């Protein structure tokens, strides 16, 4: 990342598996969370969110400045996702996402947009457990898109708004960090001081 790592702090990247909360405490007794899959110092926390139905790259650190640097909307740090949607996505839908769509969250309306949108003929992701539902008569398609906002379930809401519900969503990249070569649950230190 284009961030100046600071001595004395810890930085990791994690491939968060599907079905795991991106926090260290469970909301329900039978719900998996980060403490069930990784071991880090008690002061290390996720930088940002990734809902339990999504998978992919999650940065963890105990450096509060990194949190602001990465998540403050003024900084416009891009996060790139791969989304598998129901149906064959149209150019019209992609154009709408780029121009911006309105989504509602907790009775408020936000205009949000995606950048760098493209079709993906295939993606390199491990098999998801459990696998996505498949219907013989309905095709699916993959797209890559980036956002610099970070509203709750933003990509899912955006794609539903243009008529293409998300079947699988993976955060592929934050700045220059990716999940290339990682498996769900892999935790990799980003710097050693």
> Comparing 11-72+176-189 with 78-174, is the CATH topology the same?
yes
In the prediction, which pLDDT does 28 show?
Answer: 85
| pLDDT (tens digit per residue) in 77-117 | 899 999 999 999 999 999 999 999 999 999 999 999 999 99
Between β-strands 177-178 and 166-174, what pairing exists: parallel, antiparallel or unpaired?
Answer: antiparallel
Number of Cβ within 10 Å of residue 52's Cβ equals 17
In the prediction, which pLDDT does 12 show?
Answer: 96
The fold adopted by the segment(s) 78-174 is Alpha-Beta Plaits (3.30.70)
Mean pLDDT computed over every residue of the chain: 92
Pick from 37, 10, 30, 35: nearest CA to 189: 10
CATH class of 11-72+176-189: alpha beta
pTM of the prediction?
0.93
| CB under 8 A, 24+ apart: contacts of 66-73 | 66/3, 66/9, 66/11, 69/3, 70/1, 70/3, 70/174, 70/175, 71/47, 71/150, 73/148, 73/149, 73/150
| pLDDT (tens digit per residue) in 9-50 | 999 999 999 999 999 998 888 899 999 999 999 999 999 889
Q: Please report how many Cα atoms fall inside a 13 Å half-sphere around the Cα of residue 70, on the Cβ side.
A: 25
Q: Which residues are catalytic?
A: 51
Report the C-alpha gap between 166 and 141 in whole angstroms: 10
Domain ranges in the chain are 11-72+176-189, 78-174
The two tokens of residue 153 are 């379930």
Q: Mean pLDDT, to the nearest integer, of 125-151? A: 89
Determine contact, residues 170/125, Cβ cutoff 8 Å: yes
């Amino acid at each position: 990342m284009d961030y100046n790592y600071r001595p004395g702090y810890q930085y990791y990247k994690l491939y968060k598996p599907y079905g795991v909360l991106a926090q260290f405490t469970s909301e329900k007794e039978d719900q998996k969370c980060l403490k069930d899959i990784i071991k880090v110092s008690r002061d290390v926390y996720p930088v940002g969110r990734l809902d339990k139905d999504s998978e992919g790259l999650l940065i963890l650190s105990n450096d509060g400045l990194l949190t602001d640097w990465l998540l403050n909307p003024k900084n416009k740090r891009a996060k790139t996702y791969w989304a598998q949607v129901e149906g064959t996505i149209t150019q019209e839908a992609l154009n709408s996402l780029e121009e911006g769509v309105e989504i509602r969250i907790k009775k408020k309306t936000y205009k949000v947009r995606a950048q760098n949108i493209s079709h993906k003929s295939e993606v390199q992701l491990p098999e998801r457990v459990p696998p996505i539902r498949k219907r013989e008569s309905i095709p699916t398609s993959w797209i890559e898109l980036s956002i610099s906002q970070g509203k709750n379930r933003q990509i899912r809401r955006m794609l539903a708004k243009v008529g293409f519900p998300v079947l699988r969503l993976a955060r592929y990249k934050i700045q220059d960090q990716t999940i290339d070569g990682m498996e769900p649950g892999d935790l990799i230190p980003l710097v050693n001081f």
